[in-house]
Amino acid sequence: MRSRLLLGSALALATLSLAPRTNAQVPGAAPPPSPPPAATNPAPPPPASPTTPASPPSAAPTTSSQANPVPPPPATPLSGMQTPPPAGSAANGASLPPPPTAPPGAGPYAPYPPGPYAPYPPGPYAPPPNGAWGPPPAGPLPGWGAEPPTQKVKRWYGWQTLIGVLVSDVVLIAGQGSAVTYVGLAGHVLTGPIVHWAHGHVGNGFASLGLNVGLPIGGGLIGLMAGAGSYDGWDTLAYTAIGAAVGYFAAPALDMAIFSTETVDEPVEPRKGARALLPSSVAVMPMVGQDRMGLSVVGLF
């Protein structure tokens, strides 16, 4: 660097020493004409002397600041504004945990913004677009069902009461006044109510119990009043026994005739013959989709 500066200064001195010699006038010669006024460009500098080797023009000296540029200092924040915390730290200086990594095979995702969120606006809402499927029907389709058709029929179950009463009467007679006799008597009175209760007819069960208890007592009272006019006590006792016996056998008979009937659903028997080939029920249902419409025919054979 210092040699370049010395070489440049020597070249400048040599140029200045040659300039007066070139501009000196020869004695007895006319002065050179003055340059035209239009020539504004200065004359080029005289060539360097052949004795002095030409040197390349020296570059402008560079300072240490230009050789090693230094970034400008960061701008100071305005007064009243807080500087944001560096990445990976909270506002209070505490370090934050690293963000969760995506599971293998899944792309990066953005966390869902925290709440609270606005509630869903209340109704009413617009109806579904034309052609959308509506809600399923509440009941079975007309003319179609998963179970076979049934019909209402009346059924008599008094035979169950009859069997229980006959067995109880046989036990009553076979007991011959022993403890078994009371078992047969209880079976005769309670057989009808138990059968009704087993079929789910609670009211009929209590009505049957009233008949089995009330009719023998009522018949005995009627017989007692009928034999009260006789002076013989045996006649009065006979009338009473006859009235009680009539009520004893009439109670289960009325029970089986009046209360032992119920209405149930029984499946319809399939038809036989040529008509069995025809469907028992046929239904036509419209079908509407987003891109098609049609009818569906279903039947039960």
Is residue 234 one of the residues assigned to a domain? yes
DSSP for 11-58 reads: HHHHHHHHHHHHHPPPTTPPPPPPPPTT--SPPPPPPPPTTSPP-PPP
pLDDT by residue, tens only, the chain of 301 residues: 555 555 555 555 555 554 445 444 444 555 556 655 544 455 556 555 545 444 444 444 455 445 455 666 665 555 555 666 665 555 555 666 777 776 776 666 667 777 777 777 777 777 666 655 566 556 555 555 556 778 888 999 999 999 999 999 999 999 887 888 999 999 999 999 999 999 999 999 999 999 999 999 999 999 888 887 777 777 788 889 999 999 999 999 999 999 999 998 888 776 665 555 565 667 777 777 777 777 777 766 5
State residue 92's pLDDT score: 58
Is residue 32 one of the residues assigned to a domain? no
Is residue 199 one of the residues assigned to a domain? yes
Is residue 192 one of the residues assigned to a domain? yes
State residue 186's pLDDT score: 92
Domain that holds residue 231: 152-260
Domains in the chain, number: 1
| Contacting residues for 76 by C-beta, under 8 A, at least 6 apart | none
> What single-letter DSSP state applies at residue 230?
-
Q: What is the pTM of this model?
A: 0.42
Q: Whole-angstrom Cα distance, residue 281 to residue 143? A: 5
State residue 106's pLDDT score: 65
Angle made by CA atoms 59, 63, 65, in degrees to the nearest 5: 135
Is residue 11 one of the residues assigned to a domain? no
Is residue 128 one of the residues assigned to a domain? no
State residue 211's pLDDT score: 93
Structure tokens at 165: 């009463």
State residue 296's pLDDT score: 77
State residue 39's pLDDT score: 46
Is residue 243 one of the residues assigned to a domain? yes
Would you state the torsion angle of the CA atoms of residues 63, 65, 66, 71, taken in this order, to the nearest 10 degrees?
180
CA distance to 37, 201, 266, per residue, from 153 (Å): 141, 17, 7
Is residue 227 one of the residues assigned to a domain? yes
